[in-house]
Amino acid sequence: MAMKSKKNFFSLNLPNISRYRVIHSIKTAIACLIGLAIEKYFDWPSGQWVPITVMVVMSAQTHFGGAVRKATMRFLGTVGGVITAITALWFFGSTMMVVICTIFFASLLFTYIASEHGDISYAGTLGGVTVILVLTGQQVGIDVAIQRGCYIIIGIIIALLVSRFVFPIHARNRLRYHVAITLRNLSNLYISAIQTENCSAQKNQNNDLASELNSKITDDIAAQPKLVYEAIAGSREFAAKKSIFTAILSSEQSLSRLINLMYLSIHESSAPMMIKNQLDKIGWAHDIISINLNQLAICFENLEIPKKMIDLEGMLTKITKAAKELPKEETYQLIVEHSFLFFMEQLLKELENMRKLIVKANSKTEDNMI
């Protein structure tokens, strides 16, 4: 019964509510309560920094890999700030002039670091904040600085443990899901690309569908580099195959561009139906391409090894033959038709490239790679 309830919980599909965000919110709340309980149990002075750190590390990081990266920068910033404050107090004391000068020079240093691109900017911000908090509190001293640093480190540990072991959400799984969705949408976009309608209403409807699919594909592809970035931090196996997953993202973009170019080559023509009729000789290829995109999506999402579905050389030979048999009466139409066939050739090559990349990504050993 417990397993069934858990399955139903994770299958929630409420409108305008992301189940991942719901799960992550519950995890963060649990972690904050753990931090609060520890702080109250030991009655630590200024112990509120434990749950505060938990919230800072976890709140905006849905995936474990993202939490690891943020926690690392939080740790580096805290340690850097504490060391800076302790050094000043150890050598120069805790006079007002020392506090002012330390904050001034620490602000210069950490602001410079914070203005850098990437994760290190967060460490710079936290380093400067830590120096200010340590030196401007009601009690100023080396022991207070060490104490504050320990609270933050304890909060980081709690955040990472909860993120990893309580309903863990891994970026690598989300990446597979988003890539699979993109491949399925590319399949639908391809079907839309090769459809030409005489009726203006159907044509407009087809254009709207293509525009909507393009928007979804663009959004998904744009979100995937961050998932790769976080997955690298959360999985050593994924980090070892970083170049493969990066290449898969690049292949997705190439597939999207080629399908859009095929769409434009037909739908921007003054006589799309005439072109479509003359290209019916390669109509057999459309189903193969669409089915192959869906099959690659299934294999990538389920960590399966995709079988070779395309006889690439044979299909390219047939496309070349179809191009030679095109009538040469109208120059513009001939250019459009040859463009369409060229894009189809490149699309088939890219599909085979994607298949090989997925084989590598899903293979446990080098022996399974094709």
Domain count, the chain: 2
Asked whether the predicted pLDDT for residue 79 surpasses 60, the reply is yes
- Contact (Cβ atoms closer than 8 angstroms) between residue 217 and residue 209: no
pLDDT at 104: 95
Over range 116-145, report the average pLDDT.
86
Do 124 and 205 fall into the same domain?
Answer: no
Let me know whether 201 and 147 are in one domain.
no
* Contact call for residues 62 and 170 (beta carbons, < 8 A): no
In this prediction, residue 283 carries a pLDDT of 75
pLDDT at 118 over 90: no
**Looking up tokens 């690659």, which residue turns up?**
296
Range of the domain at 135: 19-165
CB count within 10 Å of CB 4 equals: 8
Q: Which of 8-22, 36-50, 208-222, 265-279 has the highest mean pLDDT?
A: 36-50
Q: Which amino acid would we find at residue 175?
A: L
pLDDT value for 265: 76
Question: Do residues 216 and 303 share a domain?
Answer: yes
| Residue 30 belongs to some domain of the structure | yes
Among 8-12, 17-21, 68-72, 157-161, the range with the most confident prediction by mean pLDDT is 157-161
Interhelix angle for 64-92 vs 120-135, to 10°? Answer: 40
Query: Cα–chain-centroid distance for residue 326?
Result: 44
Q: Give CA angle at 259 (256, 264), nearest 5°.
A: 120
Give 52-96 as a DSSP string. Answer: HHHHHHHTT--SHHHHHHHHHHHHHHHHHHHHHHHHHHHHH-S-H
Stretch 277-281: mean pLDDT, rounded? 65
Q: What is the pLDDT of residue 105?
A: 95
State the chain's mean pLDDT as an integer.
83
pTM as predicted:
0.77
Would the pLDDT of 1 be above 50?
no
46, part of any domain: yes
